[in-house]
Every structure is written in structure tokens, then in C-alpha cells.
Amino acid sequence: MTEAVLDASVVLKWFVPKREPGRTEARALREEYEAGHLTVVVPALLFLEVLNVAGRRWGWDEDALLRLAAGLDDLLFEVAEPSLASVAVWTGRSLTAYDAAYVAVAEERGIVVVSDDRSLLDVAGPVARPLVAR
């Protein structure tokens, strides 16, 4: 794999403050990315989702969130916005519009979306690859 869409369930594991399932696999993808062996493509909403989880679920304060925002900017992911029609198709197949955006970008680019979100993986079929082999 040389190019992939990573969804928030994967990128969050790059920053999660504790051990959790899939963290090792997510960090391995980060190492591939940092070594220049993987191009990461994401819709812009990824950054909002990561900040939201860090602030609301993890309870990070403003300073920590500002450091996270800077860290996300430093990643220099390729940002690609899907067509609304593609998002609509995947939303019609029972994904949230947010998850549909990741799948639509992957489908439009002819690459896979890597996710740790079981519902996304169940719906997206050949367009998706699980972070952890099950």
C-alpha cells in the first residue's frame, strides 16, 4: 500500500494517551507515512473529528488542543474533498455522512480507506481495509 485514506479511528490512535486495541498497527502506519512509504489522503473533516474527540472524550485542555492542532498541521496530509453525490450514495447505504466522506474519497481516488470502525468496514466492503486483521 503506497496511498490510503486513513479515517479518524486510525489517526486518533497516533495521539491517544493510553494503550488501546489497534494502537500498534496505527503507529506502524504512522512510521510508514513518516518514512515516506505511505501517502495519506483525508477529507478535511478528519482534523475536526480528532480535535473533537481529544477535547470532548479525552478532556484535553486548550493548551493541549492547540499543541494537537499544530501537530495535525505538521502532518501535511493530502486533503481531498469528496463529491457530495458520492457522500450521498454511501450515506444512503447506512454510513454517517462523516464516514461516507472517507469512503467516497477512497473510492474516487481508487485507493482503500483504513479504518478501525466496524460499521464502516461492514458497509464499505472492497473499498475498506481493517486496521487490525480480524
With cut-offs at 50, 70 and 90, classify the pLDDT of residue 1. Answer: low
What number is the average pLDDT over the span 75-83?
Answer: 96
With cut-offs at 50, 70 and 90, classify the pLDDT of residue 20. Answer: confident
Looking at the 3D structure of the chain, how many domains does it have?
1
Extract the C-alpha cell encoding 119: 460499521
Question: What strand order describes the sheet that includes 3-6?
Answer: 78-79, 39-42, 3-6, 112-115, 128-130
| The model's pTM | 0.93
Q: Which domain holds residue 74?
A: 3-130
Most confident range (mean pLDDT) of 1-5, 20-24, 104-108 is 104-108
Q: What percent of the chain has pLDDT over 70?
A: 98
Domain of residue 80, CATH code: 3.40.50.1010
Structure letter (DSSP) for residue 83: P
Q: What is the pLDDT of residues 48-59, one digit of tens each?
A: 999 999 999 999
The predicted pLDDT at position 134 comes to 66
